[in-house]
């Protein structure tokens, strides 16, 4: 087995490969990592090999369950449905795999109802629990599972992924994606399949340009942009920080090859001559403070208004 469709996570792949070749597959696994890190593809490919298949496609003996649309958590009724599926015999062979997504959003009562099944599933049944964080999973569940913590990919692995799946990218576009996806291949896929990403980058650059004058109304008009993109506020702030970082780097070195946003190098050169090092450092502090406030669920409109005014006035 090679997990050839999975880039990165070498230690985990080796561990899974060994368990397959030695016939020591644990009956229950937890795959933990950020959204887009590769949990789904890794667990699916593992499942395909468990049931003795090779081609990457859907199989009747691999059952996936996700949180019900419109719900915030997985409750007892959903878990009972999963347990019912687990207790059904495999259709094609003698093995069956159940993959449960968003397990960290399962209620405590639901986890307790699931515990006995996870501990002693029927013969030939393997359970895979996918989660963003282990914090939401009971210790009694974790103690009965083999845990795989997926870490962010290294830059070289992200480049391999992008060259394989998006060979049409130019060198500059590839490097921009490597920086912006921050080790998460799923994030790069989202950016590249959504044209609004490039629009977002252009607007963020316009925000910095607006900071070069003292007109408060001009900078505050971008509040609407942030509110429209409130679901991805982290990406917007990261984009802003990368531009500020490029301004500092270019201002200090005058080497455009060291910048991340090379496709915006003309604007970066112009703004690097406008802002002082002190102002750029102050901007970084303001953006980081805003990120911390938003993590604490501070009202986004107030937080953004304050940030826009402060990065202009700092």
Mean pLDDT confidence for 172-195:
87
What are the tens digits of pLDDT across the range 111-143?
A: 999 999 999 999 999 999 999 999 999 999 999
Phi, psi of 297 (to 5 degrees): 65, 35
What's residue 37's pLDDT?
95
CATH, domain range 10-149: 3.40.50.300
Query: What is the three-state SS of the chain?
Result: CCCCCCCCCHHHHHHHHHHHHHCCCCCEEEEECCCCCCHHHHHHHHHHHHCCCCCCCCCCCEEEECCCCCCCCECHHHHHHHHHHHCCCCCCCCCEEEEECCHHHECHHHHHHHHHHHHCCCCCEEEEEEECCHHHCCHHHHCCCEEEECCCCCHHHHHHHHHHHCCCCCHHHHHHHHHHHCCCHHHHHHHHHCCHHHHHHHHHHHHHHHCCCCCHHHHHCCHHHHHHCHHHHHHHHHHHHHHHHHHHHHHHHCCHHHCCCHHHHHHHHHHHCCCCHHHHHHHHHHHHHHHHHHHCCCCHHHHHHHHHHHHHHC
In angstroms, the CA 124 to CA 27 distance is 8
Phi, psi of 147 (to 5 degrees): -105, 130
**Can you give the residue ranges of every domain in the chain?**
10-149, 194-313
Q: Which CATH class is domain 194-313?
A: mainly alpha
Residue 216 has pLDDT above 60, yes or no: yes
pTM of the model: 0.82
In angstroms, the CA 67 to CA 288 distance is 32
Tokens linked to 228 = 């429209």
Residues of the chain with pLDDT > 70, as a percent, come to 99
- Tell me the CB-side half-sphere exposure of residue 52, using CA atoms within 13 A: 8
What's residue 2's pLDDT?
62
What are the tens digits of pLDDT across the range 260-282?
A: 998 899 999 999 999 999 999 99
Return the C-alpha torsion angle 21, 27, 28, 33, nearest 10: 10
- Predicted confidence band at 222 (pLDDT cuts at 50, 70, 90)? very high
Mean pLDDT confidence for 32-53:
94
More confident residue, 71 or 59: 59
In angstroms, the CA 83 to CA 79 distance is 6
In angstroms, the CA 90 to CA 92 distance is 6
């Amino acid at each position: 087995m090679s997990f050839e469709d999975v880039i990165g996570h070498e230690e985990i792949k080796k561990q899974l490969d060994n368990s397959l070749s030695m016939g020591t597959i644990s009956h229950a696994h937890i795959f933990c990592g950020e959204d887009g890190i590769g949990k789904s593809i890794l667990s699916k490919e593992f499942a395909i090999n468990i049931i003795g298949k090779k081609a990457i496609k859907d199989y009747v003996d691999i059952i996936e369950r996700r949180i019900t649309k419109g719900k915030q958590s997985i409750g007892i009724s959903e878990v009972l449905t999963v347990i019912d599926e687990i207790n059904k015999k495999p259709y094609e062979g003698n093995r069956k795999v159940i993959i449960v997504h968003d397990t960290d959003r399962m209620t405590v009562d639901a986890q307790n109802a699931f515990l006995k099944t996870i501990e002693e599933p029927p013969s030939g049944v393997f359970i895979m629990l996918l989660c963003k964080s282990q914090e939401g999973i009971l210790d009694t569940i974790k103690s009965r599972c083999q845990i795989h913590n997926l870490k962010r990919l290294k830059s070289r692995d992200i480049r391999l992924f992008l060259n394989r799946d998006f060979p049409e990218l130019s060198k500059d576009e590839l490097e921009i994606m490597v920086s912006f996806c921050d080790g998460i291949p799923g994030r790069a896929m989202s950016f590249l399949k959504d044209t609004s990403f490039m629009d977002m980058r252009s607007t963020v650059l316009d925000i910095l340009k607006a900071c070069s004058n003292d007109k408060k109304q001009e900078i505050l008009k971008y509040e609407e942009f942030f509110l429209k993109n409130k679901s991805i506020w982290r990406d917007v702030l990261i984009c802003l920080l990368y531009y500020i970082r490029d301004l500092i780097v270019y201002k200090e070195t005058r080497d455009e090859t060291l910048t991340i946003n090379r496709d915006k190098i003309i604007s970066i050169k112009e703004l690097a001559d406008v802002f002082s090092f002190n102002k750029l450092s102050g901007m970084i502090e303001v953006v980081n403070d805003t990120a911390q406030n938003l993590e604490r669920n501070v009202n986004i409109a107030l937080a953004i208004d304050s940030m826009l005014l402060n990065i202009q006035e700092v």
